[in-house]
Structure formats: C-alpha cells, structure tokens
Amino acid sequence: MQTPEFLLAPMDGMTRASFRSVCFDYGADGATTEMIQSLAYGRAKRPMSPAFQEVLARFPGERSLAAQLIGSDPAAMAESARRLEALGRFDAVDINMGCPARKVVGSGNGAALLKSPERAVAVMAAVKAATSLPVRLKLRLGWDAAHITAPLLVQQAEALGFQSVTLHGRTREQMYLGPVDVPAIRAVCDAARIPVYANGGVTCAADALTFLRDTHASGVAIGRAALKAPWIFEDIATLRRGGSVRSRRAPERVALLIRLATLTCAHRPEGVAVCEMRRFCGWILAGLTGFDAVLTRLNAVVTLDDYRALLEGYLDGLEKRGDLEIHPELLPKPTLDTVSHRQARRMAKWM
C-alpha cells in the first residue's frame, strides 16, 4: 500500500494561500483552493480580476495544490478547467459535488449533482476532456439516506480516468451534523481502483489515524480540525513514528498567528486581513490565560504592526508570569466538531 496522505480539505473563506502555507509548513501533503464558481470564472472577460486573483493565488512552498471548480454547466466547467490549466500553477483540477448550501444546491450545483448522476457524469466528462491536468472529485455519500450515489459516481470517475476522489462520509441532508458513515466510506474505498481520501469529523491526529484504518482509505482530508490546530499534520506524522503529540505553547501559537497575518497581507488589504485574523485568533489562542481579553482588544486593531504589537505584548506578559501552557478549563465547551454546529450552519449559508 502507498504511504497514506493527509490533506487539508477545501474551506470557502478559510483555505486561502496563507492558511494553506501554514498547514504545508506543518507537513500537509496537499490542499485544494476554495471553490471557484465556474459560471463566473469560465465566462469572465477578465478571469484574473482581483477577486479571482486572490482565490487562485499560490505561494511557492505549497506542495501539491488542486484548484476546485463548482458548477453544473458542462461547458462553463470545461472552459474554467482550460483557464485554470493555462495559468500553469495548479497540480490538478477538483470538482465540488459536496457543497450543501441551499443557494448552491438550489441552482443545481455542488451536492445537487448527487441526485442527478447523468448531469454529474456530463460535468465530469467535460472537465476531463478539457484539461490535461489530473482531475479529482470531491463528493458526499449522496443526497440523503435513500439516495446514496457516491459508489456509482466514484465508478464513473474511475472510468473517466480521474486521479482521485475525496469522500465526505455524510449526505447532503446531514449538512455538517451527525456521525460520519465509516462503513459506507470503507465500501467505496474497497471497491475503488483509484485513491479515495476519507473526509469528515476528524477532531485530532489520533482520530485521523483511526479514520484511515477503519475506512481503508488512501488518506484523510481534514477540514475544521485544521482551522483550530493546523499542527494536526505534524501531530499525525509524530504518531505515525510512534511518538506522542505535544501541547502547543503560547510562543508557537503567537508566531503562527503573526505569520498567518503577514502572509494574508500579501493578497488582501491590510485592514481586511487583520480583521480576518480575529476568528483564527479565537481558535488558536483559546485556552491561554487572558485570551478572551486579547480578542476584545483585537477588535480595535486595523494594521499589521498593531496586530503584531498586541500579540507580542500579550506573549511577553505570559512569559513574565511563566504561564505559557493551555489551560483546559479555559477552553470553550467542546462541540462535536471544531466549528460549532451553529457556526457550521451559518457557514453553510454563505458557502
């Protein structure tokens, strides 16, 4: 069996080049861009307008990167794939058949393709014919429990010569809630002759390895858990070598947040980039003494220099007190998933 791979799953609004770079630093084997609307991109007169430029940006150190397309119009998907290939910066094209958001499925895109297998196959064939880049598919098990179409679509992907498939072990009806169906993923993995990456519900490194073992997958794609702990990829490598994972102390967390903001400023206006850091600070600093007060003070910060000064000052204070460890009692109440269900529902709306 090939060495298993651990990928960063695509997340709209989150997995830009800057965050992906941090995950690559921690040893992620691959990543995917946020989804790109093929109707807009494939027909745009200026496909490299600033909005697209940011999503399509790639930093030099990114190991393996697929660009993800979403859409149900085969011609627009094909044209988008051609344009992506012409950029010469991606290792593969990925097709999104998993997005459950109402407005996305309402126009027949994302997970809606799971209940129209013929249309899904037409989209897959059009993209494959349009590009010489490897093509991948990301999908859910099916629309609902009564319509499990992943086995059929994975077979079609294989017949069309797709490179791999990432399978989120939930149906569209489940959105981001409820248990992931491990036996259903395993059945697909056992039948497939192309690599299948299992996805959904991983919360820590040990979880990822259990998921890999139980699904017989070629690797695991990790989404929300990486937002809170991008070092999950390093932890996985440590566990696989027989080591034990360590708790990340304040200096590493603060350095990571400063690096993330600095990288984000390469593609976003400074004020917007700093504003976006608030959610990452909420996830990464959680459990350190006084982290909630830092989050409040961050609300007034708009420049990278002030952001850095605030975090460095905070770290300085912790160092002086010798208080650099995470305090479990200060962590927000654990939820089933890294992003709470309420957040996930809200996110699903704008996905």
Ligand X SMILES: Cc1cc2nc3c(=O)[nH]c(=O)nc-3n(C[C@H](O)[C@H](O)[C@H](O)COP(=O)(O)O)c2cc1C
Please list the active-site residues: 99
Binding window for ligand X (CB under 6 A); candidates: 155-163, 204-212, 321-329, 343-351: 343-351
Question: Is 267 an interacting residue with respect to ligand X (CB under 6 A)?
Answer: no
Query: Is the separation of the CB atoms in 186 and 216 below 8 Å?
Result: yes
Question: Which residues within the stretch 17-46 sit at the binding site for ligand X (CB under 6 A)?
Answer: 34-35
Q: Is 100 in the site for ligand X (CB under 6 A)?
A: no
Report the residue number whose CB is nearest to ligand X.
223
- Per DSSP, helices labelled H in 26-110 are 38-43, 50-55, 74-87, 102-106
Q: Is 198 in the site for ligand X (CB under 6 A)?
A: no
Q: Which is nearer to ligand X, 167 or 265 (CB)?
A: 167
12 scored as a contact of ligand X (CB under 6 A): yes
Binding segment for ligand X (CB under 6 A), chosen from 91-99, 117-125, 142-150, 281-289, is 91-99
Shortest Å, Cβ 19 to ligand X: 12
What distance in Å separates the CA atoms of residue 225 and residue 283, rounded to the nearest whole number?
A: 10
Q: Given candidates 20, 83, 138, 267, which one binds ligand X under the rule CB under 6 A?
A: 138
Q: Is 201 in the site for ligand X (CB under 6 A)?
A: yes
Site string for ligand X, 145-174 (x = CB under 6 A): -----------------------x------
Out of 185, 202, 257, 326, the residue judged to bind ligand X by CB under 6 A? 202
Positive or negative, the CA dihedral 315, 317, 320, 326 is negative
Q: How far apart are CA 172 and CA 99, in angstroms?
A: 8
Q: Does 222 bind ligand X (CB under 6 A)?
A: yes
Which parts of the chain are beta strand (E)? 5-8, 30-37, 65-70, 92-97, 135-142, 164-171, 196-199, 219-222
Residue 199's DSSP bridge partners are 168, 221
Instruction: For residues 311 and 281, give the distance between their C-alpha atoms in angstroms, rounded to a whole number.
Output: 10
Q: Does 5 bind ligand X (CB under 6 A)?
A: no
DSSP 8-state assignment for residue 142: E
9 binds ligand X (CB under 6 A): yes
For position 347 contacting ligand X by CB under 6 A, the verdict is: yes
> Looking at the DSSP assignment, which residues form a beta bridge with residue 126?
none
Partner residues linked to 35 by β-bridges:
68
The answer to whether 10 contacts ligand X (rule: CB under 6 A) is: yes
Query: What contacts 7, CB < 8 A, 6 or more positions away?
Result: 28, 29, 30, 31, 32, 166, 197, 219, 220, 221, 222
Which residue, 220 or 315, has its beta carbon nearer to ligand X? Answer: 220
71 is a contact residue toward ligand X (CB under 6 A): no
Question: Contact residues for ligand X (CB under 6 A)?
Answer: 9-12, 14, 34-35, 68, 96, 98-99, 138, 168, 199-202, 222-225, 337, 339, 344, 347, 351
